[in-house]
Amino acid sequence: MNCRSQVLPNGLRLVHAEVPDTQMVALCILYNVGARNEDPSRTGWAHLLEHLMFEGTARVPDYDSRVQFCGGENNAFTNNDFTTFYVTVPREHAETAFFLEADRMHGLMLDAQSVEVQKQVVIEEFKQRYLSQPYGDVQHLIRALAYRVHPYRWPTIGIAPSHIEQATPDALSAFYHRYYRPDNAILAVAGAIAWEEACTLAEKHFRSANNSLHAEVLSELPATPAPLNSLKTATPELHTCHCEPPQLRLRRKTVYRDVPMDMLALAWHMPDHFSPDFYVCDVITDLLAAGQSGRLAQRLVNEQKRFSTIDAYITGSSDAGLLIVEGRLAPGVTFDEAEAAVRAEIDRLKAEPVGDYELDKVRNRFESDRLWAAINPVNVAVSLTQHALYGTTPAEEISYYRAVTADDIRRTARQILTRKNCSVLYYKKD
């Protein structure tokens, strides 16, 4: 994939890739703001702002209707590190997409009625998905247990609905103007559109989104990772470094909930997204739990029958994140037995080299997923914004996973998957 990039005079970074065999154009804009940028007493606001970005401007009172009129689709998501909006339209309506995204970057209306409506929507989502849903508060519990200082100690939805309820139009407007600015954003354009046209439309429509004038030299996307990513070079007042102290001993917590089965979760601190060992940790979780052929499913579910279901994943965060193993215990199995079974698999990972066949299977699955995703211009655009944020390219990411060795896996497992670096949650049914 041929990716090109430049930085506009107002600081907005434009990234582009043509996608063959499509008549659609996808725009994705990533704002470098997420739950990590929130005040601990005002959590969930980044997610609330995501909702409010669809409430309209003076020129476009109804964003969704304009997109649908063009035959397009749109959506958005927020995580702890950034907020992403994406829209897909037929080729002939590409300029409309540029206009709509630029318009709400600098012209969002945050009136009292719109704010109140979206506050209630988000609060209801909080209640349904996190408070009333079985196991819905697991992320709240495990994050609060593992982190003491870093804002990753709360999930994107926030700590409590009361934080959302306290949001006012003026306070949200200040949040919007601080973070939703061109010099804190990456715009990716993918699909049936040439580089020259993408540049022309970006400069035409985003010129007015000039909240902060940053005269930057136009540059191509680097061929190798460099300190170009927004997290490292963003305006200092926008992003504060949060350093979580090393965890020096095992942490445990037990809670009782009205759920059908007991659940066990173990979380270990892992390196940030800019460390080579980030990719090693991702490979480790795929070895443990990539489908039914993963080690945990094969041994702890099918053979030993300690768990009914089990999974392993990384949080994928920009700063140092978590590698998590969580599973629901089979009937009659104690927490001690279940935890011992997981630790035995971890110890095996530390002691025995992973075979070539097993490692190649994980690498091939990752590369296959990325290649299939590259067919869809939306997936390409979303991917490009994140690669620009982290200073990589799609090809480099694949090479990083390909470069992970059996020795890397043993070394990283021994360094990270230790008892003192672990937080354990016993989630017991009443």
Q: Give me the domains of the chain, ranges plus CATH numbers.
A: 4-236 (3.30.830.10), 251-429 (3.30.830.10)
**Torsion sign, CA atoms 213, 218, 224, 226:** negative
Helix (H, G, I), strand (E, B) or coil at 307: strand
Q: Is 424 within 8 Å of 250 (Cβ atoms)? A: yes
Average pLDDT over residues 100-128: 96
Q: What is the DSSP string of 207-273?
A: TT--SS-------PPPSS--TTSHHHHS-GGG-----PPPP-S-EEEEEEES-SS-EEEEEEE---T
Q: How confident is the model at residue 236 (pLDDT cuts 50, 70, 90)?
A: very low
**pLDDT tens by residue, 62-103:** 999 999 999 999 999 999 999 999 999 999 999 999 999 999
Mean pLDDT confidence for 327-350: 98
Q: What is the pLDDT of residue 232?
A: 45
Q: Quick check: 3 and 221 in contact, CB under 8 A?
A: yes
Q: Does pLDDT of 428 surpass 90?
A: yes
* Token pair recorded at residue 101: 């995204």
Tokens 């609330």 -> residue: 48
Poorest-confidence range of 84-98, 99-113, 195-209? 195-209
Mean pLDDT across 48-56: 96
Residue 230: pLDDT band by 50, 70, 90 thresholds? very low
Phi, psi torsion values for 90, nearest 5 degrees: -60, 155
Q: What percent of the chain is helix, strand and coil (3-state, nearest 5)?
A: 45, 20, 35
Per-residue pLDDT band at 210 (split at 50, 70, 90):
low
Name the nearest CA neighbour of 186 among 202, 173, 197.
202
309: its two tokens: 């279901």
